[in-house]
Structure 1
């Protein structure tokens, strides 16, 4: 029986039953609200559920949980997923619904990315003798600024945990394999003017009006489609916020346009910043956040084996994901998980139930299909 929902609609964290179906586990962990910064109750529940499993070594760093096998297999794969979500918007607790004859689990986190986490948790508990050694990682603070990311923190504190031949991130990919990811750059572009009373505006300079050329550049910008190692990545340059003004009767002396640039992994973040700075030459440009992209890495032997085994089509990942962290460490990595990325962060976020079980079956089969791998 599920615990009663709290005032925000989420359920209080109860024991996780990893012997339940991956669909039931998805619902249980989604109903433990874990908006970025509030991952502790879910991390506690995950740690308790894994405790006592003799085939796993459990390590905790903050609200990041690591579980790994030590079987001496010839190769090791890292399989990771984040525990946090974007803010809830009247979409917890979860519920089941049928749309066009398909059954869905509806609610915050179902797509991004607790369905993937649920599959990982079930397999971590049940696969005591996988053909590969596996390091499972569930981490905090993915949905916020890069400097808070639990995976990044863990990589600095425990680089030994990132020894592996291949990595899979359970981000939503409609059950297909998405290679690499776009990079992400956010900047603030400012204009400056001179304050004055709006009744005598001619003695001031309106900073908001001066932002018009910035918006014109953005509106006229034609984003590139860039082929990288056989996959075509679509870029995007967009205003995602604008602010200025201090009162209804004052000419504003400052205006800020918040701009997001999603760039193909053929560019470094330094090259992306150089491009944006050239576009807005003469303006005050401040970097807010930036993260490197990741090249597909699908030529790695384990990546090729995984792709062929699950029968998935290789596609590009347009959004930024933590495959970039693995790529930077020299570990080829792909995105593979249930859920439609177009429903990530949506108010009607929902995952097709069959995608959860399909991903579980494919990942289970791949991890157990190599009993003849040589020991180290």
Structure 2
């Protein structure tokens, strides 16, 4: 169900979030609202309340626990800026705390979601409220179910339900990138590889065919796999093919007749999803079955777009490739050039000691503010 600001009264919730306090304090507030994937309702309610209380210049639409807030200023260009509200499970790392990094002496905010990606969400929410007269029209997006299977994505659902809300000339995803631009993203594929055997009593094993033993040759080949480094539009992407789960066995005295394992293939955006699936099927051609269970294509860097080039110049650092999959892929599929740009070290995403430098939150917000307030519409 969706609603817009003209037909739905403000929700009955005392605002938990105060965007006027700035992105650093807002990071603490957002992180202290638990929002593991599938449990985003409370944080979505809080973001909606903050928008309706503090941003009358935005038209707000809600689809489930996804929120889209747009300016309607009649600007020549439109930029979409998005971030997901969910996190991976909490592991004794909430509420957040302030600490000082032992090596650098930098002030940090420690806790689940600080890196992936509530610091980025905080930057977006603070600027959404602050920037009443940006030089381009803006579409701000906060969505649910990013950290789970791609078919559950709130962003994908909202794009299907409200395609007109997502028209844009350029998109920025606030995924952690250490405050630098990371172009495009790798694609990701999961496949279940199965082999069959024949059951027998383990005392007469010669009467059967051991499926677990048959898997050994496939796993040896996988272990010897050397990932490629592929340059796409000037950025180098690293691929990976790894076993992530294995299943097999019937009982302690039975030769198993089936064994399967799951692999995760991270592929450069030079390959399409279909090409990646064909590659995995060929790699395991002597298995009895290869079933693709999840597939999300990558995205090319998109740095040749004029708005992207101006953004790179504004940030002032050379872009890098994004190795992990992100929702820039969904914007790319719509023909919208998209990059990743947010505070936090992506190597700390999902870690129990997740933490983000305060200075990086501030510098990311400053760079976005400066760029969006200058005339970038030409």
Please point out which of 93, 110, 118 is paired with 2:95: 93
Shift of 1:207: 1.2
Cα contact 1:175–1:336 (8 A) shared by 2:
yes
Q: Secondary structure at the match of 1:261?
A: strand
- Where does residue 9 of structure 1 map in the other structure? none
User: CA separation in 2, counterparts of 1:353 and 1:253?
Assistant: 55
Verify: 1:365 aligned to 2:370, yes or no.
yes
Residues 54-101 of structure 1, C-alpha deviations (whole Å, 9 max, x = no match): 210000000001111001111100000000111111111111111121
Residues 209-262 of structure 1, C-alpha deviations (whole Å, 9 max, x = no match): 111011111111111100111011110011111111133332222111110000
- Where does residue 61 of structure 2 map in the other structure? 59
Q: TM-score, normalised by structure 1?
A: 0.94
Q: Secondary structure at the match of 2:91?
A: coil
- Where does residue 308 of structure 1 map in the other structure? 313
- Where does residue 204 of structure 1 map in the other structure? 208
Shift of 1:14: 6.1
Verify: 1:244 aligned to 2:248, yes or no.
yes
- Where does residue 72 of structure 1 map in the other structure? 74
Shift of 1:348: 1.1
User: CA separation in 1, counterparts of 2:15 and 2:216?
Assistant: 53
User: CA separation in 2, counterparts of 1:350 and 1:198?
Assistant: 51
Verify: 1:213 aligned to 2:214, yes or no.
no
Q: Give unmatched runs, 5+ long, in structure 2.
A: 1-13
- Where does residue 147 of structure 1 map in the other structure? 151
Please point out which of 183, 190, 197 is paired with 1:186: 190
Correspondence list, 1:94-173, <5 A: 94-99=96-101, 100=103, 101-173=105-177
User: CA separation in 2, counterparts of 1:239 and 1:337?
Assistant: 30
Q: Secondary structure at the match of 1:80?
A: strand
User: CA separation in 2, counterparts of 1:175 and 1:290?
Assistant: 28
- Where does residue 6 of structure 1 map in the other structure? none
Verify: 1:263 aligned to 2:267, yes or no.
yes
- Runs of 4+ that moved beyond 6 A: none
Shift of 1:103: 1.5
- Where does residue 195 of structure 1 map in the other structure? 199
User: CA separation in 2, counterparts of 1:64 and 1:84?
Assistant: 11
Further displaced range: 115-124 or 27-36:
27-36
Cα contact 1:186–1:289 (8 A) shared by 2:
yes
Q: TM-score, normalised by structure 2?
A: 0.93
User: CA separation in 2, counterparts of 1:42 and 1:54?
Assistant: 20
Shift of 1:333: 0.4
User: CA separation in 2, counterparts of 1:14 and 1:107?
Assistant: 22
Verify: 1:350 aligned to 2:351, yes or no.
no
Q: Secondary structure at the match of 2:19?
A: coil
User: CA separation in 1, counterparts of 2:142 and 2:152?
Assistant: 15
Cα contact 1:103–1:353 (8 A) shared by 2:
yes
Cα contact 2:301–2:338 (8 A) shared by 1:
yes
Cα contact 1:175–1:312 (8 A) shared by 2:
no
- Where does residue 28 of structure 2 map in the other structure? 27
Aligned-pair RMSD on alpha carbons? Answer: 1.5
- Where does residue 17 of structure 1 map in the other structure? 18
User: CA separation in 2, counterparts of 1:187 and 1:339?
Assistant: 30
- Where does residue 230 of structure 2 map in the other structure? 226
